[in-house]
């Protein structure tokens, strides 16, 4: 399979999976999303294995690193702002927003803990241990 064909399949499969998941969520069908996503991942993996050219290398990994770091930073700032706002609103007589605010706050804490665990692990693995 050529890289062009693989890219085309990737778009088609992504659109199909996204459509099915969106349909399942809107209709309240809880059984469809998980098998759909799993099937999509497996099909994409099988397609990727058939590609003769290299589909990923050190540059793509570096791009993924930077994109992940950017996503983490942006999400933390946005979630912290939204969480603090929701908690402040809940104190002013709208208690319904408190669970959402707390969920965002705990999400940030979990994300930061996972980040530091990952950082310590890779720092040791890549020889940063003194």
Partner 1 sequence: MARIKNQIRRLRFNHDEMTQEELANRAGCTRQTIIALEQGKYVPSIELAFRIARTFGVTVEEVFQYGD
Q: Is 65 in the site for partner 1 (CB under 8 A)?
A: no
Work out how close the CB of 60 gets to partner 1 at its nearest, in angstroms, rounded to a whole number: 7
Q: How many CA atoms lie within 13 A of 30 on its CB side?
A: 0
DSSP string across 4-65 = HHHHHHHHHHHHHHHHHHHHHHHHT-SSSHHHHHHHHHHHHHHHHHH-SS----HHHHHHHH
Q: With contact defined as beta carbons under 8 Å apart, do 116 and 72 qualify?
A: no
- Binding test (CB under 8 A) with partner 1, winner from 54, 96, 125, 130: 54
**Looking at 27, 30, 49, 59, which residue binds partner 1 (CB under 8 A)?**
59
Nearer to partner 1, 42 or 56 (CB): 56
Q: Stretches 28-36, 49-57, 79-87, 90-98: which one binds partner 1 (CB under 8 A)?
A: 49-57
Give the nearest distance from C-beta 57 to partner 1 in angstroms. Answer: 4
Residues that bind partner 1 (CB under 8 A): 3, 52-60
């Amino acid at each position: 399979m050529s890289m062009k064909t693989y890219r085309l399949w990737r778009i088609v499969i992504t659109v199909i999976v996204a459509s099915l998941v969106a349909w399942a969520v809107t209709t309240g069908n809880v059984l469809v999303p998980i098998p759909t996503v799993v099937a999509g991942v497996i099909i994409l993996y099988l397609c990727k294995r058939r590609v003769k050219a290299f589909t990923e290398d050190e540059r793509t990994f570096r791009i993924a690193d930077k994109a992940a770091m950017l996503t983490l930073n942006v999400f933390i700032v946005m979630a912290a702002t939204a969480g603090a706002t929701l908690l402040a609103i809940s104190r002013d007589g709208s208690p319904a927003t408190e669970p959402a605010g707390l969920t965002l706050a705990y999400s940030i804490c979990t994300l930061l803990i996972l980040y530091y665990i990952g950082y310590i692990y890779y720092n040791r693995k890549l020889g940063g241990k003194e």
